[in-house]
C-alpha cells in the first residue's frame, strides 16, 4: 500500500468510529484489495485493532495515538520520510564503495 492508500484507510476507519468496519466493507468503500488491508492491519497494531467478538476494525484507542486520525496520519508521513532517507543513504554508500573499489583497482 502506498501512503495515499494508507491515509484513505485511516480516514475511512475514523468515519466508522466507534462501530468499526469490516475488511470487505472497507475494501469496497476505498478500492483497496482485502489482502492489502489485512496485511496492513497485521503489521500496524498501534493504529488499528479489531473489535472484540466481531470481524470489525477500529482505530486503536489504547495505543500510542489514542485513535487520533491526525496523529496517525502524521506518523505515516514521518515513516514515509524516514524510509526515503534510508534509501538515499543506501545509494550514497553504494556510490562511495563503488568509487573506492574503482580507485583501489587503478595502478
> How many domains is the chain built from?
1
Alpha-carbon distances, residue 82 vs 30, 59, 68, 87, 97 (angstroms)? 26, 23, 21, 9, 23
What's the pLDDT at 82?
87
Q: What is the model's pLDDT at position 17?
A: 80
3 state DSSP class of 46 = coil
Gap between the Cα atoms of 88 and 84, Å rounded? 6
pLDDT at 11 over 90: yes
Q: What mean pLDDT, rounded, does the chain reach? A: 90
**Average pLDDT rounded to a whole number, residues 87-93:** 91
Question: Is residue 7 over pLDDT 90?
Answer: yes
CATH of the domain at 33: 1.10.10.10
Q: What is the pTM of this model?
A: 0.71
pLDDT at residue 27, as a whole number: 94
* φ/ψ bin of 31: left (φ > 0), alpha (ψ from -120 to 50), beta (otherwise): left
CB atoms near residue 103 (< 10 Å): 8
Domain housing 48: 3-105
12 pLDDT higher than 90: yes
Amino acid at each position: 500500500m502506498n501512503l495515499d492508500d494508507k491515509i484513505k484507510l485511516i480516514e475511512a476507519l475514523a468515519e466508522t468510529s466507534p462501530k468499526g468496519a469490516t475488511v470487505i466493507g472497507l475494501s469496497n468503500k476505498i478500492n483497496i484489495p482485502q489482502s492489502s488491508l489485512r496485511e496492513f492491519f497485521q503489521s500496524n497494531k498501534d493504529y488499528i485493532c479489531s473489535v472484540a467478538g466481531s470481524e470489525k476494525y477500529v482505530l486503536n484507542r489504547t495505543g500510542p495515538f489514542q485513535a487520533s486520525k491526525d496523529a496517525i496520519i502524521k506518523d505515516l508521513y514521518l515513516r514515509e520520510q524516514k524510509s526515503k532517507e534510508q534509501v538515499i543513504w543506501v545509494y550514497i554508500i553504494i556510490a562511495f564503495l563503488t568509487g573506492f573499489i574503482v580507485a583501489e583497482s587503478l595502478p
